[in-house]
Amino acid sequence: MQNKRDEYTINFGEKRFVEDYPKVGVRSTIDGRYGGVRESLEE
């Protein structure tokens, strides 16, 4: 099992995204982390 983990680290150990998390789904659009629209909807 350790070998699989090492292989995964070698293949995917680089930072693949510019930001901390990928923008996937509706929550990332509403969420304030990405300059969401929630604040404008509440006004």
Give the model confidence (pLDDT) of 5-38 as tens digits.
555 555 555 555 555 655 565 565 555 555 555 5
Rounded to whole angstroms, the Cα distance separating 40 from 35 reads 10
Q: Which two tokens stand for residue 37?
A: 């629209």
**pLDDT at position 13, please?**
53
Query: Is residue 4 very low, low, confident or very high in pLDDT (cuts 50, 70, 90)?
Result: low
**pLDDT at position 1, please?**
47
Structural domain span for residue 12? 2-42
Which distant-in-sequence residues (6+ apart) come within 8 Å of 38 by Cβ? 30, 31, 32
**pLDDT at position 23, please?**
59
DSSP state of 35: T
Most distant CA atoms of the chain, gap in Å: 53
Tally of domains within the chain: 1
Average pLDDT, stretch 2-7?
52
Query: Which H helix or E strand runs over 10?
Result: helix 2-12
